[in-house]
Amino acid sequence: MQQTPGANLDSYDEKERGGKPSSIHEVAQDLNGNAINYAFTTEEVERYVLDPKLNAQVLRAYDWRILPTTMLMYLFSALDRGNVSNAKSDHMDRDLGFTGNQWNIMLTVFFIPYCCMAYPGTFMSKKFGPNRMLPIYMFGWGAMAMINAGVTGFASCLVVRLLLGIFEGCFAASLIMYLACFYTRGELGKRMACWYSTVAISGAFSGLLSYGLFQAESKLHGWQLLFVVEGGLTIVMAVISWFILPKYPTEASFLTPEQKVAGVMRLLKDATVAVNTTMTFKDYIEPAKRWETWGWGFYAIIYGVANSTASVFLTQIIGRWGYSTVKTNLLTVPPYSVAVIVMWVFVISSDRHRERTLHVMGSNALVLIGCIVLGSISITKIGVGYFCTFLIASGSFIPTVLFQSFVQNNTTKENHRAFRAAVCTFGANAGGIVSANIFLSQFAPQYVTPLIVSAAIAGLGIVVLGVLRTYMVLDNRRRNREQGVNWTSKDVPTAALKDGPAGPSWRHFY
């Protein structure tokens, strides 16, 4: 017999309580300001009916307090990570006496700790509180960015970039995990799009800032001024964020006691087993047993190549047309700006259709087309070539938002989300190592080989996502057949989410 989807919790509540909806006080009898016990039972979560007005108040509070802060933090992360592209256009490599492929070695040295620190970074953030560790990471890389202005040669630059990679590597995966502690699956995509828009914005902003600073009269080189200004602003933002970010909804001083309970219930009713859980290493690495974790990680490497191509090498690609340093940096602004608009179109469409993989595959196709055409045409065809940079930039930034939310949407435990965020961030950052070692100086100015390799990797990404999607579609159909229902991920009752994919009522969100 066909079963009624368990998502209809209102009818369940009316049956159990004679039509009277559950109130916050009936669910949490021990409500006492911040001293409440938030370990609600499954039955309490099922009975609780979230007032839409209360839900809107909580969401608005997050969007006014947490979202702008994390957006600015990630903006400076992107600025301090990608400004070497602008610095190279101002001849940083020549001023420091780099020879051969030392520039690419310097980039690789940054990306190695940037990859590896995702694991200890998320573990420490979960252990000691992301509201404290995120500002600490930020202060550290801001200091390194400023010190980068004072390096005198290849060796000292390697040391500074290594330390910069350590602090930045701890930050990115921790931020993804942090947002998932406040926003539901349906809300996470747009919010991640907000803060990841800053990556594209940072490219435009850095181009404009470089345009101004590289013309300034100073005893310092233009690239040195760039590092000092951007690093200093990062440190200021780190101090501000220390006093703004809450640890979890249960400790958000800007929420009332009733709103705090609503903040917890929003997550428990969506797809979270428990909130503010204690971190143990055994629980943290448990997702390593599931093959999907490593399938996601492999795809993350793939999209990381395209992401690094756009964020680190776009200035060099545009530089193939022989413009001045100032004009080259100015020409990076339009592709990044358009990329923000395209990313929002994809994100809104993805959320509206409750679909992730096809949209991400579409972004891979943009990179694939852009790289193939740019690598195939003559360097004299500037108009077509410049249009290709718009395609590459637009397709590069979408996966970080939609793919990361795709992974978080299919993970129910906070500690597991931390591990999977680390796996995917490690993979995405590892893609930077690939880019750093294919965009070599001997391929300049056409960069045909690097562009064709990047196109092939984007094509591989479409295949990998297709495999993941096919598995999830078929597994959902199998579960529906066995249970005699026609459920999607939104139909699964809260009680069935406890065991995740191991439970028969689980449905993949793809």
Output the pLDDT for position 432: 76
What local confidence, expressed as pLDDT, does residue 373 receive? 94
Could you tell me the domains of the chain? 9-45 (no CATH), 50-251+288-502 (1.20.1250.20)
pLDDT digits (tens, 9 = 90+) for 27-38: 444 443 444 567
Confidence bin at 469 (pLDDT 50/70/90)? very high
Q: How sure is the predictor about 495, in pLDDT bands with cuts at 50, 70 and 90?
A: low
User: What pLDDT does 497 receive?
Assistant: 63
Arithmetic mean of pLDDT over the chain: 81
Cα–Cα distance for residue pair 431/299, rounded to 1 Å: 10
Predicted confidence band of residue 474 (pLDDT cuts 50, 70, 90): very high
Q: pLDDT confidence of 285, banded at 50, 70, 90?
A: confident
Separation between Cα atoms, residue 2 and residue 313, nearest integer Å: 55
The answer to whether the CB of 275 falls within 8 A of the CB of 248 is: yes
Mean pLDDT of the region 351-379: 90
pLDDT reading at 366 higher than 70: yes
pLDDT of residue 279: 62
Question: DSSP class of residue 261?
Answer: H
328 or 5, which is more confident: 328
Q: Given this model, what pLDDT does residue 232 score?
A: 93
Residues contacting 481, CB < 8 A, separation 6+ = none
CA distance 33 to 23: 16
Q: What is the pLDDT of residues 129-167, one digit of tens each?
A: 899 999 999 999 999 999 999 999 999 999 999 999 999
pLDDT at 34: 41
Within 10 angstroms of residue 258's Cβ, the number of other Cβ atoms is 17
Split at pLDDT 50, 70, 90, the class of 406 is confident
59 has a pLDDT exceeding 70: yes
- Residue 10 pLDDT > 60: no
With CA atoms as reference, report the closest residue to 500 among 468, 492, 45.
492
Residue 186 burial (CB count, 10 A)? 15
Q: How many helices (H) and strands (E) does the chain have?
A: 20, 0
Closest CA to 85 of 257, 425, 329, 383: 329
Judge whether residue 25 has pLDDT over 60: no
Angstrom distances, CA of residue 154 to CA of 92, 125, 150, 316, 437: 11, 33, 12, 20, 17
| pLDDT of the residue at 17 | 37
Mean per-residue pLDDT for 379-383?
Answer: 89
- Whether 394 shows a pLDDT value over 60: the answer reads yes
pLDDT attached to residue 46? 75
Residue 327 has a pLDDT of 83
Residue 24's pLDDT band (cuts 50, 70, 90): very low
Whole-model pTM: value is: 0.70
pLDDT at res. 450: 87
Would you give the end-to-end CA distance of the chain in angstroms?
Answer: 27
What mean pLDDT is predicted for residues 233-255?
92
> Does 282 have pLDDT greater than 90?
no
Mean pLDDT of 279-291: 78
Predicted pLDDT at 314? 78
pLDDT exceeds cutoff 50 at 51: yes
Assess contact for 203 and 393: CB atoms under 8 A: yes
Cα separation, 221 vs 431, whole angstroms: 30
Q: How confident is the model at residue 267 (pLDDT cuts 50, 70, 90)?
A: confident
What are the tens digits of pLDDT across the range 409-461?
787 776 777 788 778 878 887 887 787 778 877 887 888 888 899 899 999 99
495 or 183, greater pLDDT: 183
The pLDDT confidence band at residue 14, using thresholds 50, 70 and 90, is very low
Each residue's pLDDT tens digit, 101-132 = 898 888 888 888 888 888 888 889 888 889 99
Are 255 and 249 contacting, i.e. CB atoms less than 8 angstroms apart?
A: yes
What was the pLDDT predicted at 4?
A: 35
Whether 110 contacts 165, CB under 8 Å: yes
